[in-house]
Structure 1
């Protein structure tokens, strides 16, 4: 390629070609500054303007170097070109960082280091007439009359550093291009043009037919033309879609899907076949949620996540282009909101149960208390003495006192069960692997066993909150003893398909017509029961994310199957 280029250039008026190329580059850069000022993003705008200004000056100084009437003037212009050319690295890196959404260009430490290195290199350049370590200059007439520059080692080290930093910026841009699904090939070409002059730099050093100088200003001019005059809207579209970590979809005013980033494609895989199509036609549900800005629920990596769409209009060159839709991940906030709603529901349910289930025993207690009070009041004489109570009256007082004691005891059980019910309905924070036999044996020790027997037939390991799993088993054990008899046999083991556990007994079982109701608060077939034991069991299972069903054992007794998916 370089040899072909060299052959072509030997057949052209080189001096005029060089002047025309660098003059055009300078004018292009300067003229483009006005258009670059229309870029919406401030940091991108400022850095691109600075890049165009320094590159324009660099190209203009090359014109002065080539067309200078004397060797000293050419030397001065070349020196200015070296100083300004090195300065273009700063705006280039600033631009790449700002355009790709990074914050490197705001880092004070990096800025100070960059300025220090720049000033050190400039100092070496300015003192070159003394040491000539940077370059040596001699007048030559090949390929035309000009001041020929012979670069030294320090120049090449400086150029190596400058080009290395330029490559860092190019990688920033390519990384951004890889994050979006818009057609970025034109921009890959444009960025490549900024590196193309390196080939001319090498050719100028190798081939005497070319002038040994830096050609990078030409690449920046081509980049500016492509970005600012041909692909301005795509330039901002790619920046908008690629710089966000959150899912982003870019649509036009006509609802055409113009771009989206990788996060959006992961969230909405159907976007892959909808690029360039109408959002409302291809993804009507997504379009509806965006219009109303309702929370979107999606399944990702086995969990439910929630996203809130936010729509922002964007424009370029004073023209409205469309809308930028950002899907903010609000999973934690939404989970907290749902948790609060669940707590409020439990509180409302708890309040209703307290009001309903305590009212009757409280009325009974008040009635019995009133009977006792009236009987003693009737035996009270005006002088303060008491008439002896007769046998019948004493019996009435004894019955009322006994009924009052029983009623108060029932109220105490109700209150205890209601408090447990309220606590067990709360969400599970931490779980751990728990052997079923261990927690079953511990729970068995906490109940009044009477003559009942517990048999643990299998011992799967369950991921659960140990204390609340034990509470669940205790309630099922008590339920079996209360309804199955004092000598009931209770069996615990793993379901046949290894997806959960069962607890069954050989008692009379649960009537089929009420099996769907037994987990509701207050439902019981035992006149002395509170009706909250199985409701607590259901709350604990639900808090773990399990399901529980009431069915019949082989002996005809009650069987409760809990789907928990044991870990082993």
Structure 2
């Protein structure tokens, strides 16, 4: 049994160099990926270690045995290479500097130098030819050798710890690769420890090398760790606001960054491994679209957010299907900015129309009466000039109000609707008109713009209903808003959609008052609808208004 065991170990030992060389070739083909070049160093060191150990085990020539014995300590090259590989692969490449690499290279140089020179027997206390011993030498190791062994174990333990730490922190389906890498790394340590400190008379370290080689190969083929580049995922995907969801060819969710989890509301449940239909269950609109999407782009409304969704087919290793990438981008702010820009453009159009048309009329009137006063000396006509100037002033005030009624300038707070209604009434020349209703409700609104809104509605009612018109402010039947109505002649149904447009007027007004009303309501996020009051007059209904817990007096 002992001889059979030795033969098996020697056979495995003979296989370790070609395995390492084969893996080195594969790593070289992917040398631009994180960690690949350091992995090549590891595998070259492993091939030298395994090859020299095999030669030492079978040779009977003392000279060849002595050279092979010392070459075996190229294992230190593999150890420091693995440390650098682990740092690069787990996202700690900031610690890999020229100084770090030079310092790491000093370790194998020191080990090989001490093993070769062996001053005062510090590495080999006994190093004598013995034809009956393995490799033709009787060996007894010194303190430097055991110091080298302990150092190698510590470095290898650090490497395994880096992989295990990445496993604990990683969110993607392929994080199992870290366990494979950690297990493969420790396999060599376990095998070497069994040789150095265990009962074996033959070095079983090559068994650990083969296990490590198989583990790395399996990880490479099964998890494609060099192609997926987890370090890039950790550095990039978690730092961006875009949601990133990755589905494998079987349509299972295999990766999702934090933003992606927030989009699908899966922060409390681990969605990794779920079918797409289940992973997107909390967002039916996205789920239904994704089921039909093939390299498409669309815009969805998810709750109160506008989200741009894009799918991309990914190509895997050797041209095979690599799954589907789903990108989610919250464009709510861009949409808001777009609305603001469109509103600004509309305001510019209104301003241009008013300046070119509405202001021209009173200006022409004033200019005509000034000519009359100059020619006749009749200064009484200046009263008409004064009225034209007043109208121009009103038009300018209205334009300024329109341009300032923007949602960015709105600062809502709980205000008493009844109090604001009374305040606005007192600032308008309403003649003998009356204000009715006392809506004891508190709404979230900016007091100043809300006051201007009510002032314009009151002026509109008096202008069209006369000085004796009755105006009423009350809450809507559903309680989600308020209504301002009057008992005047009302607004014909065919004109109700037009009265809120800037410049539209059927009387002598500026045509801006109701446009200002609509602009202020829109800036608050309210909906406004023009309808008919119970007495047949005009009614303006404002809805989608957030009410406060208790009335607040103005």
TM-score, normalised to structure 1, is 0.70
Answer whether contact 2:471 2:484 (CA < 8 A) is retained: yes
Distance 1:205 1:493 in 2: 92
Match of 2:294 in 1: 287
Distance 1:405 1:432, change over 3 A: closer
Question: In structure 1, what is the Cα distance between the partners aligned to 2:49 and 2:205?
Answer: 9
| 1:542 paired to 2:518 | no
Q: Which runs of 5+ in 2 are unaligned?
A: 266-273, 280-287, 550-554
**From 236, 251, 276, the counterpart of 1:272:** 276
1:458 aligned to which of 440, 459, 464? 440
- Corresponding residue number in structure 1 for 2:359: 358
2:156 matches 1:162? yes
Instruction: Identify if the C-alpha distance between structure 1 residues 159 and 41 changes in structure 2 by more than 3 Å, giving closer, same or farther.
Output: same
Q: Aligned runs of 1:135-146 on 2, under 5 Å?
A: none
Distance 1:288 1:84, change over 3 A: closer
Alignment partners' CA distance in 2, 1:22 and 1:456: 96
**Offset of residue 74 of structure 1:** 6.4
d(CA) in 2 for partners of 1:34 and 1:158?
25
Q: Is the CA contact 1:250–1:322 (under 8 Å) kept in the aligned structure 2?
A: no
SS where residue 88 of structure 1 aligns?
Answer: helix
What is the deviation of 1:432? 4.1
Is residue 79 of structure 2 the alignment partner of residue 92 of structure 1?
no
Determine helix, strand or coil for the equivalent of 2:408.
coil
Q: Which residue of 2 aligns with 1:386?
A: none
Q: Are residue 54 (structure 1) and residue 45 (structure 2) matched?
A: yes
Rate the CA distance shift 1:335–1:440 in 2: closer, same or farther, 3 A. Answer: same
The alpha-carbon distance between structure 1 residues 366 and 233, as it changes in their structure 2 partners (threshold 3 A), is same
2:5 is matched with: 14
Q: Deviations over 1:228-248 (max 9, x none)?
A: 5x4486862575995652445
Matches of 2:508 and 2:351, distance apart in 1: 21
Matched residue, 1:303 = 305
For residue 434 of structure 1, report the CA deviation from its aligned partner: 2.8
Deviations 1:482-528 (CA, angstroms, capped at 9, x unpaired): 445556665555545443x3143453263351433332223345x33
For residue 261 of structure 1, give the secondary structure of its aligned residue in structure 2: strand
**CA distance, structure 2, for counterparts of residue 517 and residue 258 of structure 1:** 53
| Cα distance change on mapping 1:301 and 1:520 into 2, 3 Å | closer
Q: Report how far residue 314 of structure 1 moved.
A: 5.6
Shift of 1:407: 2.4
User: Where does residue 179 of structure 1 map in the other structure?
Assistant: 172
Distance across 2 between alignment mates of 1:61 and 1:258: 46
CA distance in 2, matches of 1:453, 1:506: 9
Instruction: Please state if 1:469 is matched with 2:473.
Output: no
| Cα pair 2:449 2:520 within 8 Å, conserved | yes
Deviation digits for residues 118-167 of structure 1 (CA, Å, limit 9, x no counterpart):
85798689769679999988999999998576985884465245323323
Secondary structure of 2:306's aligned partner? strand
TM-score normalised by length of structure 2 = 0.72
Contact 2:20/2:213 (CA < 8 Å) preserved in 1? yes
1:217 to 200, 209, 218: 209
1:25–1:467 CA distance, 2 compared to 1 (3 A): farther
| Count of residue correspondences | 510
**Partner residue of 2:490?**
510
Secondary structure, counterpart of 1:529 in structure 2 = coil
Query: Offset of 1:227 from its aligned partner?
Result: 5.0
Residues 17 and 48, structure 2, Cα contact 8 Å, conserved in 1: yes
Structure 1, 257-266 or 361-370: larger mean CA deviation: 257-266
Secondary structure, aligned partner of 2:482:
strand
Q: CA deviation at 1:36?
A: 2.2
Separation of aligned partners in 2, 1:403 and 1:567: 48
Relative to structure 1, the CA distance from residue 117 to residue 87 in structure 2 (aligned partners, 3 Å threshold; closer, same or farther) is closer
C-alpha change, 1:439 and 1:168, in structure 2 (3 Å) is farther
**CA drift at 1:403:** 3.1
Please give the per-residue CA displacement for 1:204-262, whole angstroms capped at 9, x wherever unaligned: 5775147577565334422443355x44868625759956524457799xx99697632
Q: Which of these residues, 379, 383, 389, is aligned with residue 402 of structure 1?
A: 383
Q: 1:171 to 1:233 in 2, by over 3 A?
A: same
Q: Is residue 2:424 matched to residue 1:420?
A: no
Cα deviation for residue 536 of structure 1 reads: 0.8
Q: Aligned partners of 1:325, 1:541: CA distance in 2, in Å?
A: 41
Contact 2:421 2:454 in 1 (8 A): yes
CA deviations on 1:272-308 (whole Å, 9 max, x unpaired) are 0499xxxxx9858633635xxxxx323456322335x
State how far apart, in whole Å, the 2-side matches of 1:354 and 1:406 are. Answer: 18
